[in-house]
């Protein structure tokens, strides 16, 4: 006799899926709320709201902690459904693999590190006259630096080394290509975030094979 699927089964599967990556879905929930707010505001008010949350040079000097946090709670380009897809491709497997704390640590390293590196380059450009002084207030919000870092650190989740190298090369190529076409400080930020994600290897779980190699080497 065939076993019928209980109506509660799909709901249980969805709940289990979400609970295994709580940080990702809490973040998506916040982004949904801020996205709704963005669509309700007039362009001039929205610009002022985002300016206060931007990790530009001016705000980083005045209140770095506040803007580093709040800038990652607003989307800059692309609709929320697109980020649902991207977050499920990269953040969900990363959080499950690393655990929420280490996933947050990787994102923090990528988001904060890339922000300061890119804004530092912009500050140097302003100092040398390559960029106008008004660039200290350039709008810089969004989740892309953290995403680049997480996409890069997932390199170490791939068990087969040749495929791991191919994936890492693909990530670096994706973030390197814009550097050679109308270079902007955000392009530098994305590339820096990917490198910082690769540098987060010490935060990744050690595989048994890697542990065995380390023991033999010692």
Per-residue model confidence as pLDDT tens digits over 22-76: 999 999 999 999 999 999 999 999 999 999 999 999 999 999 999 999 999 999 8
pLDDT at 69: 97
Interatomic CA distance for residues 206 and 201, integer angstroms: 9
Count of residues for the chain?
218
Give the chain's count of helices (H) and strands (E): 12, 0
Name the 3-class secondary structure at 184.
Answer: coil
Q: CB of 149 within 8 A of CB of 203?
A: no
- Which residue from 80, 197, 184, 206 is spatially nearest to 138, judged by alpha carbons? 184
- Read off the tokens for 182: 């109308």
pLDDT at 212: 46
pLDDT at 210: 53
pLDDT at 78: 72
The answer, yes or no, to whether residue 217 has pLDDT greater than 50, is: no
CATH 1.20.1540 given to domain 8-208: yes
Interatomic CA distance for residues 36 and 118, integer angstroms: 29
pLDDT at 182: 85
> Looking at beta carbons, which pairs linking 158-162 to residues 24 or more positions away fall under 8 Å?
159/207, 159/209
Average pLDDT for 102-131: 97
Average pLDDT for 174-182: 93
Domain positions in the chain are 8-208
Any idea what DSSP says for residue 20? T
Q: Answer with the residue of higher pLDDT: 216 or 103.
A: 103
pLDDT at 207: 63
Any idea what DSSP says for residue 49? H
Q: CB of 122 within 8 A of CB of 31?
A: no
Confidence of residue 77 (pLDDT cuts 50, 70, 90): confident
User: For the purposes of burial, counting CB atoms within 10 Å of the CB of 77, is it exposed (0-12), middle (13-18) or buried (19 or more)?
Assistant: exposed
Q: CB of 110 within 8 A of CB of 145?
A: yes
- Which residue from 114, 78, 111, 129 is spatially nearest to 192, judged by alpha carbons? 114
What percentage of the chain has pLDDT greater than the value 70? 91
* Mean predicted lDDT score pLDDT of the chain: 91
Q: Answer with the residue of higher pLDDT: 197 or 3.
A: 197
46-58 confidence digits (pLDDT tens):
999 999 999 999 9
pTM: 0.90
- Read off the tokens for 73: 């709670």
Cα dihedral 197/22/90/111 (nearest 10): -30
Average pLDDT for 184-207: 95
């Amino acid at each position: 006799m065939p076993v019928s699927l209980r109506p509660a089964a799909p709901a249980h599967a969805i709940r289990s899926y979400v609970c295994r990556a709580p940080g990702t879905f809490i973040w998506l929930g916040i982004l949904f709320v801020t996205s709704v707010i963005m669509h309700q505001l007039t362009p001039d008010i929205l610009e002022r709201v985002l300016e206060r949350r931007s990790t530009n040079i001016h705000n980083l000097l005045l209140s770095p902690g506040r803007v580093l946090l709040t800038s990652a709670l607003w989307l800059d380009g692309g609709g929320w459904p697109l980020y649902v897809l991207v977050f499920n491709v990269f953040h969900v497997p990363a959080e499950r693999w690393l655990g929420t704390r280490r996933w947050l640590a990787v994102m923090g390293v990528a988001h904060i590190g890339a922000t300061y590196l890119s804004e530092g380059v912009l500050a140097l450009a302003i100092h040398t006259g390559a960029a106008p002084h008004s660039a200290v207030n350039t709008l810089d919000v969004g989740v892309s630096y953290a995403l680049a870092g997480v996409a890069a650190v997932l390199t170490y989740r791939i068990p087969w080394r040749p495929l791991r190298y191919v994936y890492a090369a693909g990530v670096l190529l994706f973030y390197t290509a814009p550097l050679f076409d109308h270079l902007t400080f955000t392009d530098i930020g994305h590339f820096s975030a990917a490198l910082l994600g690769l540098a987060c290897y010490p935060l990744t779980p050690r595989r048994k094979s890697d542990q065995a190699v380390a023991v033999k080497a010692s």
